């Protein structure tokens, strides 16, 4: 067998060309890995807050909380349905909330951006055990105090603890705390008292959705059947996890598709780059390869040796690209969520699967780019050694 050291040294002998090729592959892997990481980040953010034992009730036909609207009086009705878990005092566990979108001025960037506003009852934090106030304190019920999601902090005027901003003209609210929830989309929302939102923004007597905690995930079907049975009320019940999955679908497909198309074109470019390098390397090593053949190495070993050489090159590039992509973790990416028309801040989420896939992709580029040149190398005749 041709010793591996031979290939390694050959790679190191042509530093500039090798570096250029590896760097090209690194760029492609960087773009691909970043897109996948962003897509993973979106899924995590939009899906993180979901629980299998939570059901969300909205008006039939409305695919987002924002479009749904019904009477407050129905909240009690919904929570009285079978399967809803009850607390120590026998009260059903669930929240009726009203959501809206506020047009606010961004700090730094010119222009207006939509921010998701959730009007919540005082049990909202208790209902979501993962959500907590990390700075400041929880708002007093029925007051004009609000919580600002961690990822919105400082991005808009007045979005800091102790500051205030206007829900509308002459209706100012004060920020008393910062909300954190394991990276979920709640971190891109503003939470205010449900009645403050209703009276302040003309939503008297209305809610957008009801979330109910079920006794167990298995109780979902019974709960759903009961709530949807009254066609006049016109309710649709979805598992919270399913609902959130659907919410993230659009954005995550968009990012994955865009990223894949770009990575596809880029990889063709990088493969061509690898091919040029390998052909060049083989052309200038005709005599060397001829000598190996004259010494008795069979064709297939030469083929393998060159494929190996190209694979090492591309894996090196891939590792470089993946490492650069990991650094994207410190970049946050704010994007419109198609279902709420408001801005959500995403992060790039590196997972072992993505990193592995990036390396495999780099390897594939190397093997495909190196295959034709390696075949040519294997066909070099021993006579070349004599020239």
Partner 1 sequence: MTFLGLSAKNALRNRFRTVLTVLGVAIAVLAFVMLRTVVWAYNVGVEAAAPDRIVTRHKVTFVMQLPKRYIDTIRQEPGVTVATWANWFGGKDPKHDREFFSTLAVDPETYFQVYTDVAVAPADLAAFKENRRGAIVGDVIAKKFGWKVGDKVSLKSPIFPGDWEFAISGIYTATRKSVDRSTFLFHWNYLNEGMAARQRDQIGWVVAKVSNPARTADMSLAIDRKFDERDTQTLSQSEGAFNASFLGMFTAVLKAIDVVSIVIIGIMMLILGNTIAMGARERTQEYGALRAIGFLPRHLAVFVLGESFTIGVLGGTVGLLLSYPIVQLGMGRFLEENMGSFFPYFRISPGNALLAMLLAVGMSLVAAGIPAWNVTRLRVVDALRRVA
**What is the binding site for partner 1 (CB under 8 A)?**
16-17, 20-21, 23-24, 27-28, 30-31, 59-64, 66-67, 100-103, 109, 111-114, 167-169, 201-202, 234, 258, 262, 265-266, 268-270, 272-273, 275-277, 279-280, 283-284, 333-336, 341, 343
Residues 6+ apart with CB under 8 A from 57: 78, 209, 210, 211, 212, 227, 235, 236, 237
Q: How far is residue 240's CA from residue 246's CA, in Å, rounded to a whole number?
A: 10
Characterize the bridge pairing of strands 145-149 and 171-180: parallel
CB of 297 vs partner 1, minimal distance in Å: 24
Residue 226 CA, distance from chain mean position: 35
Q: How far is residue 255's CA from residue 53's CA, in Å, rounded to a whole number?
A: 29
Q: What is the DSSP letter of 72?
A: T
Characterize the bridge pairing of strands 171-180 and 132-136: antiparallel
CB of 171 vs partner 1, minimal distance in Å: 9
CB of 265 vs partner 1, minimal distance in Å: 4
- The smaller minimum CB distance to partner 1, of residues 111 and 162, is found at 111
CB of 223 vs partner 1, minimal distance in Å: 22
96 in helix, strand or coil?
strand
Q: How far is residue 10's CA from residue 295's CA, in Å, rounded to a whole number?
A: 18
CB of 38 vs partner 1, minimal distance in Å: 8
CB of 112 vs partner 1, minimal distance in Å: 5
Contact 282, 73 (CB under 8 A): no
């Amino acid at each position: 067998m041709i010793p591996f050291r031979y290939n390694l040294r050959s790679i190191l002998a042509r530093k500039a060309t090798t570096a250029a090729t590896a760097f090209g592959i690194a760029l492609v892997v960087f773009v691909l890995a970043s897109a996948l990481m962003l897509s993973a980040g979106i899924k995590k953010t939009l899906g993180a807050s979901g629980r299998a034992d939570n059901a969300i009730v909205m008006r039939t036909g409305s695919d987002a909380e924002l479009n749904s609207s019904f009477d407050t009086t129905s909240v009690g009705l919904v929570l009285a349905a079978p399967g809803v878990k009850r607390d120590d005092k026998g009260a059903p566990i669930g929240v009726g909330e009203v959501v809206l979108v506020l047009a606010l001025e961004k700090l730094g960037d010119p222009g207006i951006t939509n921010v998701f506003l959730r009007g919540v009852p005082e049990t909202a934090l208790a209902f979501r055990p993962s959500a907590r106030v990390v700075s400041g304190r929880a708002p007093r019920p029925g007051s004009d105090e609000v919580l600002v999601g961690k990822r919105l902090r400082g991005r808009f005027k007045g979005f800091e603890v102790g500051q205030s901003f206007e829900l509308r003209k002459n209706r100012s609210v004060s920020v008393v705390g910062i909300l954190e929830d394991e990276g979920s989309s709640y971190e891109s929302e503003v939470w205010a008292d449900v009645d403050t939102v209703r009276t302040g923004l003309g939503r008297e007597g209305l809610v957008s959705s009801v979330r109910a905690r079920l006794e167990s995930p298995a109780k979902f079907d019974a709960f759903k059947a009961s709530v949807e049975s009254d066609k006049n009320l016109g309710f649709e019940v979805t598992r919270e996890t399913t609902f959130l999955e659907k919410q993230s679908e659009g954005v995550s497909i968009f990012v994955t598709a865009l990223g894949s198309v770009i990575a596809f074109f880029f990889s063709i470019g990088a493969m061509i780059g690898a091919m040029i390098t390998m052909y060049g390397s083989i052309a200038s090593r005709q005599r060397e390869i001829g000598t190996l053949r004259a010494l008795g190495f069979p064709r297939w070993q030469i083929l393998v040796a060159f494929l190996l050489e190209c694979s090492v090159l591309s894996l090196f590039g891939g590792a470089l690209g993946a490492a650069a992509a990991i650094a994207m973790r410190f970049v946050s990416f704010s994007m419109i969520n198609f279902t709420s028309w408001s801005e959500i801040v995403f992060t790039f989420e590196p997972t072992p699967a993505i990193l592995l896939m990036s390396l495999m992709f780099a390897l594939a580029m190397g093997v495909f780019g190196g295959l034709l040149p390696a075949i040519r190398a294997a066909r070099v005749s021993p006579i070349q050694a004599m020239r």
